[in-house]
Every structure is written in structure tokens, then in C-alpha cells.
Amino acid sequence: MTLAELKRGQQGIITDVSSIHIPLKLLEMGCLPGNTVELVQVAPFADPMYLNINGSHLAIRKETASHILIETAHE
């Protein structure tokens, strides 16, 4: 599953960010494997996505989020 597929309020754990499409700035801000991510809000037209990654709030484009692999908890 990718980060772009998360629903509002849903959480997951980042498993892979090895794509060349991930800006270095996102990695520096905590978008790393093993970190917990939650989709807080989505802007109109679904872009950008407002995320909480280990307590840091980020806004990223849905296109970029589609390159970040996550694993969600099964309820």
C-alpha cells in the first residue's frame, strides 16, 4: 500500500522510501522507514495531503506520496 492510499485518520508505518522521486527534504523531516504516519487532512481536490509523521506535520503532494510504501495495522 502507498501513502497516497491512506484515508483520513488512518495510520500506517513507512516501509520503503527508496524511490528517486522522494525529495531529500522529506527524508530529513522524518519520512523514513519505521516511522509512524497519520493522514490528518486532505486539501480540496486531494492535493496536498497533510500528514503527522512521528509528531512532525508535513504537507506533501499526492504524486510524491504514491512513491512511499506503508503498512497499515489490521483491525
Which CATH number is 33's domain given? 2.30.30.90
pLDDT digits (tens, 9 = 90+) for 30-63: 889 999 999 999 998 878 999 999 888 999 999 9
- Grid cell digits, residue 43: 486539501
Residue ranges making up the domain that contains 37 = 3-72
Query: Model-level pTM?
Result: 0.84
> What cell numbers appear for 11 in the block?
495510520
- Half-sphere exposure (CA, 13 Å, Cβ side) for 11? 10
Number of separate domains in the chain:
1
